Structure formats: structure tokens, C-alpha cells
Chains A and B, each alone.
Chain A
């Protein structure tokens, strides 16, 4: 499974309150949520993500509130995958459950070579992120087989329907 998109670089400790503030948790309409994604923190985010983006972030991406609205907002904005030094656990689950690949970089070395705006390809199954411009490759931890199946099915609901339907 391969994904292409432009890299959007984010820092450490990006919490779900900044991804989608609580004042918008009055709906789970994807378009409404995407409209307000990162509104207080990175207002240009949606415009940058539209057309397909791979987030490259630092430590503890998605900490805080369990709001799945954060993943919906990112996905609908055009985010195709997230690669980070580490993830907060509830966000990680939500991301997998909604079919949005979330991979952990194997080493922090060379992290700064992952530049904002660069076109990249993520081989989700093998855990390899390639920068198209330079051909440079970065290893990620492979997702456990069980989670990979959920991703391939397009999320936990589809996985469930496939298994039981």
C-alpha cells in the first residue's frame, strides 16, 4: 500500500485541542470539521493539505482529548498519512480505526531532512518514506499485522463488516 503527498512538518506535542477546538465538537460533519482544522494554531493548514499531504511530526502527536473529530478533520483536509517520532495512544487508535496510516519513525536521525513542502511517497506496508526529489529513504516501524488489516480495509468499521459480513 503506497501513498503520495506533500510533507507538512509539525513540531512536538501537537494536541487534539489545537487540531480541532472544542467549540466545533457540536457536529461530526467532516466538511465543517475540516474547515476549522488547526484554526488557532496553523490556519493555512487546510489549504496546504488539500491535494494530498503526509504529516511529519515530532513527539507525542495527538495528545490529550479522545475526540475522533481530530482525525476526521485531518483526513477530510487532505491528510493521507502521518509519520511521527511518537504518537499519543488514543489518537493512534483513532487514526488506525478511521483508516489513516500512522507510522513511527525508526530513528530521529535525519529528521530535519524531511522538509516541509517536499513530495514524498510512503510505503505503508513496508514502512518506508521516500523523498521524491532526493530519493532518500527513511525507515518507519512496520505496523502490526492486525492494524495493517484494519488500514487495508479502510478502517475498523469496514474491517468489522468484512470479517462478520
Chain B
């Protein structure tokens, strides 16, 4: 019998069986369920049709993030509905406006993303939890409703695509460039229903924050989840979390049945995803000089302190081009506070940028920086579909935080290498 893939190991434990096989449909036990104010209210409404009792309130996490603080009465009412659910069922893991941030970032910061855990979230970027060896799976509201009632979910056990990344990144090239290149290589549906598993020396060298960027973009290949193989960094995270996991070594056995691709990033240049698909990845040189209207730094993909520190370095002694708005959303309240202490917020404001509350808003065209007709944005977020960040005639170019901020200074899409010491 062949060995097990990482995701087989996790799902075997969660179904209480010695082994589950790819392609099988199983009912798995969920460690944590995450809801936010956009998909949560529908989940709660469906839940109430089938049950009066949450299976385990200590395993439910509610975060407000998509439009924070709310910019419409409808959204304010959706939050009100979620607060009443939280209160009624005694959900203590509730992150109110000003106490949390973007859900995937909050889950990481609060130590929920334990290696070997199965985390289900009513949000497609729940795969971000894979950075520390958790299996994070995004679902819709009705799936979340059934998890609320039973703590279980039906899943098709995915095949695994092992992504081995080799090579040392050159100056001005970041985890986001690697992640976009992987999406470009696999394609937007090249890994549909599969699990990605990241390994290799480049990934080992990455910080947990960089791994969050990598895992986050897994869904843009169609994958069900994306797991970074655990190592000393993720084990240290687990030890500091105050939680326990039965499975800390999350990686496929050498003889597991899987597909594998290798990517050498030693010569990688900064890249951008051109409109309107994430897998439309080109070197920044191909679009350098294209005029932009807005630069957005933030989102669950790239709104962490290291991303903001890159902005700090590039902005120091410079100004945002007069024709450009630089919008920065720290991924969480914690990141915001750290950025304040590090002087990053002051530098952004001095340079003519604006810092918003932690929110998903601009990334999905919901609030705090939507695009007008025909406008062009360069963004550190994760999607560039038609109308994603605003008007249907606007265009979004996805890039690393460095490329975003360099472009904000130049007023045109720019190669960040000229701006970095």
C-alpha cells in the first residue's frame, strides 16, 4: 500500500479511519468554522431551519471584515444579525469591529490555524490557513449551516499536486511574485478539486507571513486547499498558540501517490497578473509605464506588517504621484498597531497615501476605494475579474506590495527594483 499525502493524513484523522482515498466522499469532523458578515447571515438563517443548537460554540469563529465599519444600512443590519447569533449561542471567538481584522489574518494571529486541523470557512480564501499546516477549505453558506448544526461536512478527498519551489529570490522579488507565478503556471482551473502542497528550499526560507501569501492564492488555481509542509517555524507557531494538535508533521509520505511540479524561482522577476484573470501572469517589464489611478496595498493576501514595511522603505523621502491615490488597509488591528509603532502609518500619510480601517473592502469593490469607469488599479490583493474592484470598465493589475507602492510613486506601473536599496 502506498503512503499517504498530507491532506489524506488530516482527513483520515478527521473521519476516524486508518486511511481515506482520493475521490472518496467522506464526512469529516471540523476543528473550527469561520463566518463573516457577508456569508454568515445566510448560514445562520439556514442553520435555524435545521437546529436550535450550535454543535460546539467554542469551535465557531465570527469575524466582521468585508465592510468595516459598515458603509450601508443593509450591512449594518447583517452585522446586527450576527451579533445576536453570537450572543444567543455563546460564541466567544467573536471579533467585533476594532478587535480583529480580515478573518484569515485573525485566524492566524489568534493561533487557530493549527497544523493538522480542519478549518472550514464561508469564504473562498479560507485556504490561507494552510500556511501553518492546517487544511483550510472554503465553502458556501449552506455548507456552513450544516457544520454549525453537526460539526461535520461532506468532502471529496482531494488528489494532491506537490509544488516544489527552488532557488533564492533576487532583490525586489517577493513571495507574491512566486505565488502569482505558480498560479500562472498551473492555470486558474489547473488544480480544481485538488490540494496543493508546497515544499522546497524557497518555501523553507519563507517567513510565516510570506507563506500566508502563498497559501492564500491556492484557490486561484481552483484548488480545494493549499498546505505548506510544516517545519520548525510552523511547529513554533503551534507551540505558542496554546492549542494542541495530534498531527504536527503535515507532509506527504515519500511514496504517496501524487503529481508533482517543480518551479525554479532563482531568475524570477517581479510579475503582474493582467486583467481579467489571475493566471494571466507577465513580467512587470511588459506593462511598465502604464498609467494608473489607484494603488491598493492590503487584503488577506498582502496586508501584513512585512508588506507595510516594504511600503515604508519605498516611500521614505518620496511622494505618491499627484494623479494617484494610494490606499492602504492593514490586514488586522494588530498589524495596524504595529505599523503605527514602526512609523509606517506616519510615512504613508506624509507621502500622500491614506490608511483605512482593516477591511476586505477595496479588494472586492465593496467599500473604501472602489474604482470608477475606466480607471486602472495596481493591487496587492488576489482577484482581477471584471468589475472586481468597482466599475465593470475598470482594470486591476495584481502585484507584490513593492510593485504596488513603486507604481504609486511613479504614477505608472513600475519595476520596484529601482526603488529598493
Give me the interface of A with B, judged by CB distance under 8 Å: 13, 15, 17-18, 21-23, 25-28, 40-41, 59-60, 63-69, 71, 86-90, 93-94, 97-98, 144, 146, 155-157, 160-161, 164
A158 to chain B, nearest CB (A): 9
Can you identify 14 A-B contacts, CB atoms within 8 angstroms? A17-B387, A18-B385, A22-B366, A41-B392, A65-B124, A66-B122, A66-B123, A86-B189, A87-B192, A89-B193, A90-B139, A93-B139, A156-B145, A157-B46
Cβ B143 vs Cβ A97 within 8 A:
yes
Residues on A with C-beta less than 8 A from B146 are 156-157, 160
Cβ A66 vs Cβ B149 within 8 A:
no
CB contacts under 8 Å to A, within B3-51, are 25, 38-39, 41-42, 45-46, 49-50
Contact with A along B64-87 (1 / 0, CB 8 A): 001000001011001000000000
B388 sits at the interface (CB 8 A): yes
Cβ B387 vs Cβ A21 within 8 A:
yes
Q: Please, which residue of chain B has its CB at the minimum distance from the CB of A61?
A: B189
B: interface residue count bin: 35 or more
B365 sits at the interface (CB 8 A): yes
Contact with A along B121-143 (1 / 0, CB 8 A): 01110000000000000111111
Q: Please, which residue of chain A has its CB at the minimum distance from the CB of B71?
A: A26
Cβ B387 vs Cβ A67 within 8 A:
no
B366: contacting residue among A25, A27, A94, A161, CB under 8 A: A25
Cβ B143 vs Cβ A156 within 8 A:
yes
Cα-based distance from A53 to B318 in the complex (angstroms): 56
Cβ A40 vs Cβ B392 within 8 A:
yes
Residues on A with C-beta less than 8 A from B141 are 28, 68
Cα-based distance from A22 to B71 in the complex (angstroms): 13
Cβ B385 vs Cβ A15 within 8 A:
yes
Contact with A along B377-408 (1 / 0, CB 8 A): 00000010111100010000000000000000
Contact with A along B334-367 (1 / 0, CB 8 A): 0000000000000000000000000000001110
Residues on A with C-beta less than 8 A from B140 are 66-68, 71, 90, 93-94, 97
Cβ B143 vs Cβ A67 within 8 A:
no
Known A28-B45, A64-B124, A86-B189; contact A97-B387, beta-carbon cutoff 8 A: no
B142: contacting residue among A18, A23, A26, A98, CB under 8 A: A98
A5 to chain B, nearest CB (A): 23
Apart from A146-B154, A156-B142, A157-B49, list 20 A-B contacts with CB within 8 A: A15-B385, A22-B66, A22-B365, A26-B72, A28-B42, A41-B387, A60-B192, A60-B222, A63-B189, A65-B383, A66-B122, A66-B140, A67-B140, A87-B192, A94-B139, A94-B143, A144-B25, A146-B25, A157-B46, A160-B50
Cβ A60 vs Cβ B154 within 8 A:
no
Most-contacted residue by chain A among B74, B124, B193, B388 (CB, 10 A): B124
CB contacts under 8 Å to A, within B70-114, are 72, 74-75, 78
Q: Please, which residue of chain A has its CB at the minimum distance from the CB of B189?
A: A60
Q: Please, which residue of chain A has its CB at the minimum distance from the CB of B77?
A: A26
B387 to chain A, nearest CB (A): 5
Cβ B364 vs Cβ A22 within 8 A:
yes
Cα-based distance from A55 to B383 in the complex (angstroms): 24
Cβ B154 vs Cβ A89 within 8 A:
no
Cβ A59 vs Cβ B142 within 8 A:
no
Residues on B with C-beta less than 8 A from A94 are 139-140, 142-143
Give me the interface of B with A, judged by CB distance under 8 Å: 25, 38-39, 41-42, 45-46, 49-50, 66, 72, 74-75, 78, 122-124, 138-143, 145-146, 149, 154, 188-189, 192-193, 222, 224, 277, 364-366, 383, 385-388, 392
Known A23-B365, A93-B143, A156-B146; contact A63-B386, beta-carbon cutoff 8 A: no
Residues on B with C-beta less than 8 A from A90 are 124, 138-140
Cβ B364 vs Cβ A63 within 8 A:
no
B396 to chain A, nearest CB (A): 11
Known A28-B45, A66-B124; contact A88-B189, beta-carbon cutoff 8 A: yes
B131 to chain A, nearest CB (A): 19
Residues on B with C-beta less than 8 A from A89 are 192-193, 222, 224
A88: contacting residue among B39, B75, B143, B222, CB under 8 A: B222
Q: Please, which residue of chain A has its CB at the minimum distance from the CB of B155?
A: A93
Q: Please, which residue of chain B has its CB at the minimum distance from the CB of A70?
A: B140
A112 to chain B, nearest CB (A): 20
Cβ A161 vs Cβ B49 within 8 A:
yes
Residues on B with C-beta less than 8 A from A28 are 41-42, 45, 141
Cα-based distance from A26 to B277 in the complex (angstroms): 25
Residues on B with C-beta less than 8 A from A27 are 74
Residues on B with C-beta less than 8 A from A160 are 50, 146, 149
The 10 closest A-B pairs by CB, nearest first: A26-B74, A40-B392, A68-B140, A60-B189, A94-B140, A97-B142, A66-B124, A22-B364, A28-B42, A17-B385
Cα-based distance from A89 to B194 in the complex (angstroms): 10
Residues on B with C-beta less than 8 A from A164 are 50
